[in-house]
A = this chain, B = another copy of it.
Amino acid sequence: MKLSGVLPPICTPFENGVLALDKLKENFDRWNGTGLSGFLVLGSNGEVVYLNEKERLAMVEVSRESIPSSKIMMVGTGMESTQETIDFTNQVAKMGGDCALVVTPCYFKGSMKPQVLYDHFIAVADSSKIGILLYNVPQFTGVNLEPEWVAKLSEHPNIIGIKDSSGNIGQLSEIIHLSQKGFAVFTGSAPVLFPALCVGAVGGILAVANAIPEICVRIYNLFKEGKVDEARALQNRMTPLAKAVTTQHGIGGLKIAMDIAGYFGGNPRSPLIKPGKDVEEELKRLSLQLQNARVGGRA
């Protein structure tokens, strides 16, 4: 299995505040028919911080049943504690996850010096039964993994890649250039998917791919086929929706976009809220514009 292409960090469906696993299966039925190369379960956009242990395990179990072996099943397993991260990673390994995405611990930002983060990741990698990818998302964590340290970590045989959600293409370039050959560098920011591919990223783990997987995959494929101008043009058309569903309207916005696209989005968990009618109208408008662009066949 090759680590590349487009993966959505899948949203976790709730009905009346309760995990709706049947809705998750329905979403997988549709996602599996697209060109997505895999899925990230229990990512930030999966509202993992609002799930208890039992719910997290249920998400992994149902995902494992729904994801075909031809697609990547990546699971977010990072906790604040090193030992808890190791334990949960190996539980996921036992349940059949292909690889684990481990976020930088972050609550005590001031103490998360580069060497402390390095030791954390090495300890997890040493004990993990599956390959791990680093997860850098400074907008949530207030912590940034510098390229030099990513390069060092890439030397560990069990650290196989990174999802960098900083949106910083200069940093992504350096990570790609400095890290070991075969180290899989994904962007986690949909508005820069195209430039990320230009500097050598292997793909994207993109929130908006929950709602519009085909568009994201098409940008990736156009780029791979050398149709650079078309890829850039489609990126430009996708960017407004990509920004709206995450940066501007958060997970509530993303779930509305899923509803619009015919997936089950539903409500996020409290304290998150689903935005009102005006946001829904805005997202409908942006989705329609993008759909028209696609139907017309001209990116």
Q: Please provide the chain A residues from 182 to 203 with a CB less than 8 Å away from any CB of chain B in the complex.
A: 189, 191-192, 194-195, 198-200
Q: Is the CB of A108 within 8 A of B250?
A: yes
Q: Which of A30-38, A153-161, A162-170 contacts B (4 or more CB under 8 A)?
A: A162-170
Q: Is the CB of B50 within 8 A of A81?
A: yes
Asked if A97 is at the interface (CB within 8 A of a chain B CB), the reply is no
Kindly supply a per-residue 1/0 record for chain A positions 248-283, scoring 1 wherever the CB is within 8 Å of any chain B CB and 0 otherwise. Answer: 001110000000000000000111110000000000
Asked if A123 is at the interface (CB within 8 A of a chain B CB), the reply is yes
Quickly give the copy total for this chain.
4
Asked if A230 is at the interface (CB within 8 A of a chain B CB), the reply is no
Asked if A95 is at the interface (CB within 8 A of a chain B CB), the reply is no
Tell me the bound Cα distance from A123 to B272 in angstroms: 13
Asked if A20 is at the interface (CB within 8 A of a chain B CB), the reply is no
Output the least CB separation between A219 and chain B (Å). Answer: 13
Q: Is the CB of B140 within 8 A of A109?
A: yes
Q: Is the CB of A273 within 8 A of B116?
A: yes
A side interface size, CB within 8 A: 54
Asked if A110 is at the interface (CB within 8 A of a chain B CB), the reply is yes
Asked if A66 is at the interface (CB within 8 A of a chain B CB), the reply is no
Q: Which of A67-75, A231-239, A285-293 contacts B (4 or more CB under 8 A)?
A: A231-239
Name which residue of chain B comes closest to A272, CB basis.
Answer: B111
Chain B residues whose CB sits within 8 angstroms of the CB of A269 once the complex forms: 81-83
- A140-B109, A239-B177, A271-B119 given; A194·B199 CB < 8 A: yes
**17 new A-B pairs (CB below 8 Å) besides A119-B273, A173-B192?**
A50-B80, A52-B84, A81-B269, A82-B269, A82-B271, A108-B251, A108-B272, A110-B247, A111-B251, A116-B273, A117-B271, A120-B270, A169-B192, A173-B191, A173-B195, A174-B191, A198-B198
Chain A residues near B (Cβ < 8 Å): 17, 44, 49-50, 52, 80-84, 105, 107-112, 116-117, 119-120, 123, 139-140, 142, 167-170, 173-174, 177, 189, 191-192, 194-195, 198-200, 228, 232, 235-236, 239, 247, 250-252, 269-273
29 A-B pairs with CB atoms under 8 Å apart are A44-B108, A50-B81, A50-B84, A52-B84, A82-B271, A105-B271, A107-B140, A109-B139, A111-B251, A111-B272, A116-B271, A116-B272, A119-B271, A120-B270, A120-B271, A123-B270, A167-B170, A169-B169, A170-B189, A170-B239, A173-B192, A173-B194, A173-B235, A173-B236, A177-B236, A195-B195, A195-B199, A198-B199, A198-B228
